[in-house]
């Protein structure tokens, strides 16, 4: 996946973390995971349904929000 979510940390601080979309080859279900880049780089992602690691990342659409008007 390639979207982003923000996680509030206190009063005015936010951390933006990407959401990733995967597909499990074992239970044949898509799922979404929010991970930090460090967690994603470790590569130990398991399907939340069957807890197996036979997964692949799906191509996902994403959008960008900017302050500039077009």
Q: Is residue 70 part of a domain?
A: no
Task: Give the pLDDT of residue 62.
Answer: 63
Q: Is residue 69 part of a domain?
A: no
Q: Is residue 63 part of a domain?
A: no
Q: Is residue 28 part of a domain?
A: yes
pLDDT digits (tens, 9 = 90+) for 58-70: 987 666 666 766 5
Q: Is residue 62 part of a domain?
A: no
26 near 47, Cβ under 8 Å? yes
Number of compact structural domains in the chain: 1
Give dist(CA 40, CA 36) in Å, integer.
Answer: 6
pLDDT digits (tens, 9 = 90+) for 7-48: 555 545 566 778 899 999 999 999 999 888 888 899 899 999
Residue 47 sits in which domain range?
Answer: 3-57
Task: Give the pLDDT of residue 1.
Answer: 39
């Amino acid at each position: 996946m390639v979207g982003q979510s923000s996680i509030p940390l206190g009063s005015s601080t936010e951390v933006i973390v990407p959401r990733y979309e995967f597909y499990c080859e074992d239970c044949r279900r898509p799922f979404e995971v929010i991970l930090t880049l460090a967690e994603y780089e470790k590569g130990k992602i398991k399907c939340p349904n069957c807890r197996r690691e036979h997964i692949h990342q799906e191509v996902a659409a994403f959008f960008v929000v900017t302050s500039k008007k077009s």
